[in-house]
Structure 1
């Protein structure tokens, strides 16, 4: 395990670039009648004061690169990353299906000029139905498949598309808790695999974001800024509620109303010798169409008060 920095370098918040994502507008799927149109998302994310966005689920935003560039550029927006879901712990037999999902997302991401691909492990519990579909704990063999498969994915994405992968610990996946995140990082090549630290998901699963940044700073390649409501989370954990229903219950909340406190996270991240994206994600699926914009405006104002 890496040791914490003995003498932390000076903070430089200028190296943190703040953006938002379709997730903060209640978008989880490429096409869903409960979600607002993509044009409105782009209009409102720009109106809220953000300059960077993620692509969200592939197919929600236009997949034609020229049209996507036109739609984003005329609103003053730039893409920071694409997102894929993988089930690499299931072994080499899943590779073809994995690559069939990853390749078009990576191609579009690269065409926008972005350089990151956020990789989210598959859920062991369905986020809509709460059905348990796999054991929440991996076997030793499955851990080997996961780490080897992730490194293979990182090589392929880098060589073919010039992108770096950032793996996203996520509630109800096999990379969630502090112990699982550390095991994953210790078993993967630091030159290939970086982490997308989502502060909300990590807190949801009992982790300390500041400690992770201070201990594994060289592995932090990307941030998602998010908070959880501690009272709702306590109820969720006590009842074993799945992540999807927990979101509908309001477990992810508007900052600065939840945990972790984002100022110390931003301070720790700004001391790393790295340029980082910090993408705001407040899971709100589903939500009324007029709810996201006021929250997005207030959140952007709050983050400016934090110096980013």
Structure 2
């Protein structure tokens, strides 16, 4: 198995529950943590907080809202002490890999990987999916990323998900395995991302993929909660299969019209579907405690979807306000709980 710039630690230095002949890929893909194994749990946790451009309102969906300049977003991320980011919407970072690395280097940041829609169940899209997976994996490899965050969608333009037929389910798992192998061939770990308006949206969908594959998971606290999955239960039961975490809090009162397809995800976000961490209905603290207790060593990406619907905010205003609240929550609530 290829890795990206990381030699695995001796087994005796790894968390007890990860000592095995072949540690899960999530334990050997994270460059920042070579020194974190011997750190107190709270300190090691705080070193692994990152973010994504969507937390600054960066999204490719037409009409989403105003888009902040790349340099400003990276400056604000870095100013909050976040050492890494996900790729975000097409065009936000330079398409040139060398220039992209320079953009990150200016702020001493690294690239984790990115959210990648994939059509797995539709046999007519098999060639397109493989080509996309190869192209994206090559790009991630070039920029030093480690994570291919798969979101299995109904169609490339995000049509509402439909019940899969028996043949479509078989095709889904065939293609999921192929994408997983492509990722491994490029030194990446694929993590499946449950998400609103995808074919892995509900607890039933999650259970089907867990039971019929061995792929790793992106535990997204917001989307899993919306879909009916208890994130604490998932963290405790499947910790060894969690390769990545998105931290997202939700105002559950805003969920019904989005789940009923009466509102789009964009409309939900614009109306406050997602909140700063600790201000919604998701058990953020309890989920993190469960993961850390199980020996999880990966990233915690604050992925707090927002939209700038008014004028371009001034410096120090706009999405950074909510992001600071989320970072403060992790420092002032979660870290002390881990230190006990």
Normalised TM-score (structure 1): 0.86
Structure number with higher relative contact order (C-alpha < 8 Å, ≥ 6 residues apart)? 1
The offset of 1:83, in angstroms, is 2.5
Q: What is the rounded CA distance, in whole Å, between the counterparts of 2:144 and 2:166 in structure 1?
A: 38
* Partner in structure 2 of residue 81 of structure 1: 113
1:198-277 alignment runs, 5 A limit: 198-234=220-256, 236-237=258-259, 240-277=262-299
2:118 and 2:156 in contact (8 A); partners too: no
1:115 and 1:164 in contact (8 A); partners too: yes
Q: What is the rounded CA distance, in whole Å, between the counterparts of 1:243 and 1:146 in structure 2?
A: 24
Relative to structure 1, the CA distance from residue 237 to residue 65 in structure 2 (aligned partners, 3 Å threshold; closer, same or farther) is closer
Instruction: State the SS of the aligned residue for 2:306.
Output: coil
The offset of 1:89, in angstroms, is 0.8
1:24-43 alignment runs, 5 A limit: 24-29=55-60, 34-43=66-75
* Partner in structure 2 of residue 170 of structure 1: 195
The offset of 1:152, in angstroms, is 0.6
Instruction: State the SS of the aligned residue for 2:113.
Output: strand
Normalised TM-score (structure 2): 0.78
The offset of 1:228, in angstroms, is 0.7
Q: What is the rounded CA distance, in whole Å, between the counterparts of 1:134 and 1:227 in structure 2?
A: 23
1:1-308 alignment runs, 5 A limit: 12-14=41-43, 16=45, 17-29=48-60, 34-91=66-123, 93-123=124-154, 133=159, 135-159=161-185, 161-188=186-213, 190=214, 193-234=215-256, 236-237=258-259, 240-288=262-310, 289-290=312-313, 291-305=318-332, 306-307=334-335
Instruction: State the SS of the aligned residue for 1:296.
Output: helix
Aligned length: 291
Residue ranges of structure 2 left out of the alignment (5+ in a row)? 1-15, 19-39
Instruction: State the SS of the aligned residue for 1:88.
Output: coil
Q: What is the rounded CA distance, in whole Å, between the counterparts of 1:105 and 1:237 in structure 2?
A: 30
CA-based RMSD of the aligned residues comes to 2.6
Deviations 1:249-289 (A, max 9, x none): 21111121102121101101112233111101111135444
Q: What is the rounded CA distance, in whole Å, between the counterparts of 2:50 and 2:166 in structure 1?
A: 37
Relative to structure 1, the CA distance from residue 80 to residue 239 in structure 2 (aligned partners, 3 Å threshold; closer, same or farther) is closer
Residue ranges of structure 1 left out of the alignment (5+ in a row)? 1-6, 128-132
